[in-house]
C-alpha cells in the first residue's frame, strides 16, 4: 500500500519520517508531555527515556520491561510494566502500582492503555512473547479500571489485543489484534463497565514487516494504526486513506509538539518524527 489522495490531506506528498534518536532495541510507548518533552520506553534497555529536541534529558532505569504510557485524569503519567504484570503511576522510584491482578491472579503483562475524559482506564493484557510464558489467567484480555475502583474484564475473545484508543467523543473503543491483523471497535457502555459486541473496523495487510500495534486518532476522527510497512490511516468509517511508510517496524506512535502536528513514531531500531497537516487528538485531560 502507498500514499493515496486521501492521505495527502493529512501529510505533504513525498514527506517521510526522519530518525531523531537511536535506542537499544525495541522502542515503544511514546507520549508527548505538556512540558515540551517526549517520554518513551526502551524495552531492550529496560528503561524509560525522556527527550527534549531529540536529546536525552533523563533516563528511568529498571522499569520492568516498560511499554505504553498515558495520562491519568489528573495529569500524572501511567505506564505499563510488562515484567511485573502491572500498570503503575509515576516514573522511576516514585512509581506506585495501580493494578497487577484480576480476581487474585496475576495479569499477563499490560501492553497499552488509554484514559477517558471521565478517568476510566482501559488497557490490553495479551499473552505474548513465547508459549513458555506462563499465564495465570489463561486468556488475552481487554480491561477497564473505572472511577469506582472496579477492575472490569471487558473482552477475552481477541487472540492478541495490543493497541487501543477511544473515539474523540469517548463512545467507541478501538482495539488492534496483532494475531488476526485487524482492528475491532466496541461501543462503550455504562461508563466503561461494559463494552458492546465487537465490530470489524479494518484489516491491516501488506507485504512489509509489521503487525497491528498502537492506535491514535487525529482531531478529524481519522484512525491511525501501526501495521505492515508503517502507520496505516483510515477514516472514521474504516475506509483506507494511505500509509506512512517506514523501513523500520513501527511499534507505536503519538502526536506531539505545541500544535500537536508532529507524529512521533517508535520502531525496533529508533525514534522518528514527521510533520502532519492535521493535529492529533490530545491524550491529556488534566486541567
The count of other CB atoms within 10 Å of the CB of residue 85 is: 22
> What is the per-residue pLDDT for 129?
56
Q: Sign of the C-alpha dihedral, residues 19, 23, 25, 31? A: negative
Q: Sign of the C-alpha dihedral, residues 25, 180, 229, 201? A: negative
| Pairing relationship of beta strands 121-125 and 113-115 according to DSSP bridges | antiparallel
> What is the per-residue pLDDT for 53?
86
| Pairing relationship of beta strands 96-99 and 86-89 according to DSSP bridges | antiparallel
> What is the per-residue pLDDT for 238?
96
> What is the per-residue pLDDT for 3?
45
> What is the per-residue pLDDT for 5?
52
> What is the per-residue pLDDT for 206?
83
User: What pTM was computed for the model?
Assistant: 0.94
Is 1 exposed, middle or buried, given 0-12, 13-18 or 19+ CB atoms closer than 10 A? Answer: middle
Is 278 exposed, middle or buried, given 0-12, 13-18 or 19+ CB atoms closer than 10 A? Answer: middle
> What is the per-residue pLDDT for 123?
98
CA–CA–CA angle 136, 141, 142 (5° rounding): 145
Taking the domains of the chain in order of start, what are their residue ranges? 7-275
Grid cell in block for residue 285: 485531560
Block means of pLDDT (10 residues each) for the chain, 287 residues, are: 67 92 90 95 94 90 93 96 95 93 96 96 86 79 96 95 96 95 97 96 88 95 96 96 95 96 95 96 59
Task: Write the DSSP assignment of 33-79 as a string of letters.
Answer: -TTS-EEEEEGGGTEEEEEETTEEEEEEE--SSEEEEEE-TTS-EEE
- Smallest CA-to-CA distance from 111 within 270, 274, 252 is with 252
Q: Which CATH class is domain 7-275?
A: mainly beta
Distance CA 172, CA 157 (A): 18
Q: Which residues pair with 172 in a beta bridge?
A: 187
Amino acid at each position: 500500500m502507498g500514499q493515496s489522495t486521501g492521505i495527502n490531506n493529512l501529510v505533504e506528498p513525498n514527506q517521510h519520517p526522519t530518525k531523531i534518536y537511536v535506542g537499544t532495541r525495541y522502542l515503544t510507548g511514546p507520549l508527548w508531555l505538556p512540558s515540551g518533552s517526549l517520554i518513551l520506553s526502551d524495552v531492550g534497555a529496560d528503561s524509560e527515556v525522556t527527550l527534549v529536541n531529540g536529546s536525552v534529558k533523563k533516563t528511568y532505569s529498571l522499569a520492568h520491561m516498560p511499554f505504553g504510557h498515558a495520562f491519568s485524569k489528573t495529569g500524572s503519567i501511567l505506564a505499563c510494566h510488562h515484567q511485573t504484570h502491572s500498570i503503575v503511576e509515576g516514573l522511576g522510584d516514585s512509581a506506585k502500582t495501580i493494578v497487577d491482578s484480576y480476581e487474585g491472579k496475576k495479569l499477563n503483562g499490560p501492553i497499552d492503555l488509554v484514559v477517558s475524559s471521565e478517568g476510566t482506564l482501559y488497557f490490553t493484557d495479551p499473552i505474548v512473547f513465547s508459549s513458555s510464558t506462563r499465564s495465570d489467567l489463561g486468556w488475552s484480555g481487554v480491561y477497564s479500571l473505572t472511577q469506582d475502583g472496579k477492575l472490569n474484564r471487558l473482552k477475552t475473545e481477541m487472540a492478541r489485543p495490543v493497541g487501543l484508543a477511544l473515539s474523540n467523543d469517548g463512545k467507541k473503543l478501538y482495539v488492534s489484534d496483532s494475531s488476526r491483523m485487524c482492528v475491532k471497535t466496541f461501543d462503550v457502555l455504562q461508563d466503561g463497565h461494559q463494552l458492546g459486541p465487537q465490530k470489524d473496523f479494518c484489516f491491516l495487510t501488506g507485504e512489509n514487516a509489521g503487525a497491528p500495534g498502537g492506535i491514535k486518532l487525529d482531531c478529524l476522527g481519522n484512525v491511525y494504526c501501526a501495521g505492515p510497512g508503517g502507520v496505516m490511516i483510515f477514516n472514521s468509517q474504516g475506509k483506507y486513506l494511505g500509509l506512512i511508510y517506514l523501513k523500520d517496524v513501527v511499534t507505536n506512535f503519538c502526536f506531539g509538539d505545541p500544535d500537536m502536528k508532529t507524529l512521533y513514531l517508535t520502531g525496533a531500531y529508533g525514534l522518528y518524527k514527521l510533520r502532519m497537516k492535521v493535529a492529533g487528538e490530545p491524550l491529556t485531560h488534566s486541567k
